[in-house]
Structure formats: C-alpha cells, structure tokens
Amino acid sequence: MNLGNIKLPITIIGVIVVQAFGIIWYVAQLDSTVKNLDTSVAEIKETQSDIDIAVLQTEVDTLKEELQNNKFDPSEIEDLIKEIDERVHVIETDIALILNDYKSILGDHKLMIDKYDIKTSETYKEYGSNK
C-alpha cells in the first residue's frame, strides 16, 4: 500500500484539522483555568493565614487582660495539694491493711491445704505463700 496513492476527500481532512484545533483550544482553556485557580488558592491561603494570625493575637491579648485582672493566689492550690496528699496517705494505709489481710487469708488457706493434703494446682500454692 503506497501512501502517495491514497486519496482522501478534502472534507475528511478539514474535519480532522478542525478537531485538532478544537483539542488544542480545549487544552489551552484548561491550562488557563488551572493557572487562575492556582493563583486564587494562593491568595486565599495568604488571606487565611493573616486571619488566623489576627485571631490568635486577639486571643493572646484577651488572655493577658484576664491574667492582669485576676490575681493568682497560689495558697488555694497549696491547700488543695495538702488535702490531696492527706487523702492519698489514708488510701495507701488502707491498701496496706487490705493486702496484709489478704496475705493472712491466703496463708490460712495454704495451711489448710497442707494439713489435709488437698490436691490443688501448684500455681495456687505459690500464690498463697507468704513471700
């Protein structure tokens, strides 16, 4: 097949040329749209950053004013810490008493198991020992 001998009607060639120009125009429009949107996004980000900074500055100023208006009294916190410390001491004492009772109960059970030669798992015997 020889390409020189192929005869195409001028209409088909015209349609192909028009389609080629249409595709080129469409791609150029897309490129322009993307560039415009990219510029818009950059401007929006910059504006948003400025707004965020302004909001943060306002919040910092408000907090500074509140701190200046409200004098901080550490004695209230010191009293609370002392009260919490006393409560913790009471709880620790209670826990120590409970653990002591628990060990006594387990020790009594171990004595009963050993006395009557009751078959139990080794884990229970070790757990009940007074270590």
d(CA 122, CA 128): 10
Give me the phi and psi of 129, to 5 degrees please.
Answer: -75, 150
Neighbours of 128 (CB within 10 A): 20
Local structure of 102: helix, strand or coil: helix
pTM for this predicted structure = 0.36
Confidence of residue 119 (pLDDT cuts 50, 70, 90): low
Q: Please give the Cα distance from 49 to 57 (Å, whole number).
A: 12
Q: Are the CB atoms for 130 and 107 separated by under 8 Å?
A: yes
pLDDT bracket for residue 28 (50, 70, 90): very high
Model pLDDT for residues 29-65, shown as the tens digit of each residue: 999 999 999 999 988 888 888 888 888 889 998 888 8
3-state SS class at 128: coil
Average pLDDT estimate for 67-84: 81
Length of the chain measured in residues: 131
Tell me the domain boundaries of the chain. 9-72, 73-131
Band of the pLDDT at 88, cuts 50, 70, 90? very high
